[in-house]
Amino acid sequence: MNNLILRVVSKILIPLIIVFALYVQFHGDFGPGGGFQAGVIMSAAIILYALVFGLDAAEQVIPSTLLRVLASMGVLIYGGVGLVSLLFGGNYLNYTVLASNQIAGQHLGILLVELGVGITVFSVMLIIFFAFAGRGRI
């Protein structure tokens, strides 16, 4: 696609979308948002890139093998936080034991868990998008 305006505008927008996704991800404790929303917004940035610059360019940015690894890694991070809290002597997914006091432990646990959610949602959305969009050009 050779639409100059689309290319320029999306090149300006994509970094902003990514920064906003990171803000939603890591500010979810304080404002609206969290892993689910951040993952979707982050994948929207890549989808915009794919729509304007083509699927092949987008797959060079994020190869589909990497996406599969990331999707599993998000779930592993989430489950891993639970296992670590088991090892530290708490219940599964009880973050209090992760740090010296309850507030710090809960903060750390929620941050890690939301990160896992964000990574999985981001990569699964892109996996689905690439699967749908890739069908058309065999």
Partner 1 sequence: MIDVIIDVTVLAFLTITAVAIVRMTNLFAIVMLFGIFSFLSAVMFIGMDAVDVAFTEAAVGAGISTVLMLGTIALTKDRKEKYPGGHRPWLPLAVVIVTGATLVYGTLDIPAFGDLNAPSQKHVAPYYIEKSMEDTGVPNIVTAVLASYRGFDTLGEVVVIFTAGIAVLLLIGGRRRKSDVAGQAGEDDDE
Binding residues for partner 1, rule: CB under 8 A, are 24, 28-34, 36-37, 40-41, 43-44, 47, 51, 64, 68, 71-72, 74-75, 78-79, 82, 92-93, 95, 102-103, 106-107, 109-110, 113-114, 116-117, 120-121, 123-125, 127-129, 131-136, 138
Q: Where are the alpha helices (DSSP H) in 27-101?
A: 35-53, 55-61, 64-87
| Smallest distance, partner 1 to C-beta of residue 102, A | 7
Q: How far is the CB of 2 from partner 1 (least distance, A)?
A: 19
Beta carbon of residue 43, minimum distance to partner 1 (angstroms, whole number)? 7
84's tokens: 């670590």
Which lies closer to partner 1 via its Cβ, residue 5 or residue 30?
Answer: 30
Whether residue 14 contacts residue 49, with contact meaning beta carbons closer than 8 Å, is answered with: yes
Alpha-carbon distance 127 to 104, whole Å?
Answer: 35
Residue 5 CB, shortest distance to partner 1, in Å, is: 20
Distance CA 56, CA 50 (A): 8
Report the alpha-carbon distance of residue 138 to residue 129 in Å, rounded. 15
